[in-house]
Structure 1
Amino acid sequence: MNDLSTILSEPVARLGATTITLGHALALGALVFLGLFLALVVALWRSAKARTIAAAEAADHARDAEARMAGILQSQAEMQGRMGAIADVFGARQAELNQSIGQRLDAMTGRLGQTMTEQTKSTHESLAKLQERLAVIDTAQGNIQSLAGQVVQLQAILSNKQTRGAFGQSRMEAIVADGLPMGAYEFQATLSNGSRPDCLVRMPNGAPQLAIDAKFPLEAWNAIRAADGAEQQKIAAQAFRRDIEIHVRDISEKYLIQGETQDTAFMFVPSESVFAEIHENFDAVVQKAHRARVIIVSPSLLMLSIQVIQAILKDARMREQAHLIQGEVIRLMEDVARVDERVRRLQTHFGQSAKDIDEILVSTSKVTKRGQKIEALEFGESEAEVRGGGPAKAEAGVRVADSKTGQLRLRVVEGDD
């Protein structure tokens, strides 16, 4: 025992001033072991309790799972029933849908066939119309080719100065002949100085004649159209201006004769485009022509001038016939006076007739009144004649007048005088 006590009291460690012996260490170890044992027991107890609770919860979960499984199985059975019903409904609907689709396909096939037939018919009609239009186009192409040939001929005419003058002359003659009566104009007439203008228009009342020239210089104009560069166009424009000025001077010197022709003359340009180009780009030439008393006219302006001259001629003819019109008006007034006199006589006759009618109305009024008095008389036989078979005795103071027929009986009652 002493050895054991010695061993237990033998120091093992030192903490500061405290000496830890083996006994202390063993006691501390025993306490630690006891604490660990108690902790192990508590842990085992808690673990057993937790397992019990877990087993109970597992059982509860198992029961819940079984209940849910039963519900799921029941729902599955119901779902299978519903799926069967839905399958039946879908089958019926699918059959109806197939039938409807078949009917629609048949109808669509019929419509497509009809549409294809109509489209084929329309296509044939369109092709027939297209062929007709192609025939018309072929005809128009032939006309265009013919027109192109005529344009080439016209170009050939315009390229020759003599034929070009004839072309302008023909256009001018057509305009003048359409607007003025025969005898109011003369083509290629000779003036007193030997000049021959293309046309002379005779003015009324002995006024001087109007000279028209149709020989317009187109060579320089064609050169302007054919020029490529600016320099060539400038040269051609100068030549064109010079030719027009020379032509205007010739017209002014040859055709303006005092007392024989008008103070102004017309220079006819057979193209509206050339006329517009002259007034747009050659204003100086136009001003010189005006100062030289030469008026540049296009076909439309010449036509307008001819219409004005036609109106002047009509006015002059009306003035010449004024005395005839005055005589006719005088005779018309005489006829009106005779009609007035006859109407007045007729009015007098109507007045006399009205007076006679008034007198007739007075007479008829008297006859009507007398007829009313006659209506107041007695008709038929008297009672005495009926009873006695003869005429009754007249009462005192009464005169009776019988008619030959015995139907009219007048009673005249005399007075007391």
Structure 2
Amino acid sequence: MTDFLKHSGTTLGQLKEQLGKLKGDSEQMLRIGQDVRKLQDILRAPKLRGQLGEQSLGGLLGNILPAEHFALQHTFKNGKTVDALVRLPQYSVSVDSKFPLSAFEKTAAADSDEEKTRLRRQFQSDVRKHIDKIADSYILPAEKTLDFALMYIPAENVYYETIVKYEDDKTDILEYALGRKVIPVSPNLLYAYLMTIVMGLHGMQIEKQAAQIRATLGRLAIDFSSFTSTWEILGRHLRNAQSQYDDGGSKINKFALQLEQIQQARESEQPPESAG
């Protein structure tokens, strides 16, 4: 944990002051996607899935950027419509929210390890196809987009299952996306990424800095994956400690009750004091 904090501190140090000023907004963003069960129920309907992703994305952008600095459902000259376009002084960044959740849901509902493995491969294939679609449709330097796009995953738990959880294939998906200049983001990561883009591009020549920004975002994704794993372990330790604390409290209450009963018995056995 110490090594991780030292490493990520180097990458995120320049953001500390600005993110501190936006603590209130950050806390609001952290609440997005926390109710996993309720979210999974909503995601069962394809139409609602799309609406949820677009609404979540629109709300997040509205909390961070002035209205003139982003557009929802922007249509390019090639006829493709991107869910959101972040507008910078001279360039823009495409953000897609149509993450393929159908295969993810099937994988989560699989009854056997064999079926889960098969569906996991299908899910990976669907994700790669979606990455290709984003790269081919929304990275358009001729229309003054930067040479990368963001793939918005509208729930922290789905991002965790896709990018973080599976040690044997998470790098494959992440590296494939970065190789195609598509960066996967959860709600929390998108918040940090937007701040990175706004600050990183301010006063710079964008043509020279876009590659550096993309590399920083890639490192942030890897650091976030490592932090999430550490956070999960810490959560398990805290839950175990809470369970042991509750068990100890029950034993203390029982012990106190037994002492009280013994004291009452001793008092009842004492002979009454004689008068005069």
TM-score by length of 1: 0.37
Other-structure match for 1:225: 108
List gaps (5 residues or longer) in structure 2: 1-34, 204-276
- Given the alignment of the two structures, is residue 294 of structure 1 paired with residue 171 of structure 2, yes or no? no
Equivalent residue in structure 1 for 2:153, among 263, 269, 277: 269
Taking only the aligned residue pairs, the percentage that are identical comes to 32
Q: Which amino acid aligns with 1:173?
A: G
Partner SS state of residue 242, structure 1: helix
Deviations along 1:374-397, one digit per CA (max 9) or x if unpaired, are xxxxxxxxxxxxxxxxxxxxxxxx
1:250 corresponds to which residue?
133
8 Å CA contact retained: 1:213, 1:267: yes
Question: Aligned-pair distance for 1:151?
Answer: 5.9
| Separation in structure 2 between the aligned mates of residue 234 and residue 295 of structure 1, nearest angstrom | 25
Q: Distance in 1 between matches of 2:185 and 2:197?
A: 15
CA distance in 1, matches of 2:147, 2:40: 35
CA distance in 2, matches of 1:253, 1:217: 17
Q: How many residues in Structure 1 have an aligned counterpart in Structure 2?
A: 164
Which residue identity does 2:193 align to in structure 1? S
Aligned to 2:86: 201
Specify which of 193, 199, 203 is matched with residue 311 of structure 1.
199
Structure label with greater radius of gyration: 1
1:319-330 map, 5 Å: none
Are residue 189 (structure 1) and residue 74 (structure 2) matched? yes
* Counterpart amino acid of residue 238 in structure 1: R
2: CA distance, partners of 1:222 / 1:259: 37
Residue 283 of structure 1: how far off its partner (Å): 1.9
- 8 Å CA contact 1:187–1:199 kept in 2: the answer is yes
Distance in 1 (alpha carbons) for counterparts of 2:195 and 2:174: 23
CA drift of 1:309 comes to: 3.5
1:271-327 alpha-carbon deviations (Å, 9 max, x no partner): 2222222223232111111111100011111001122334357x45xxxxxxxxxxx
TM-score (norm 2): 0.56
Equivalent position amino acid for 2:50 in 1: G
Rounded Cα–Cα distance in structure 1 between residues aligned with 2:97 and 2:40 = 18
- The CA distance in 1 between the partners of 2:200 and 2:115, in whole Å, is 47
> Gaps spanning 5+ residues in structure 1: where?
1-147, 317-417
Aligned AA (1:181)? P
Higher relative contact order (CA 8 A, sep 6+): 2
- Secondary structure (helix, strand or coil) at the match of 2:130 reads helix
Instruction: Give the CA deviation at 1:156.
Output: 4.6
Q: RMSD across aligned C-alpha pairs, in angstroms?
A: 2.1
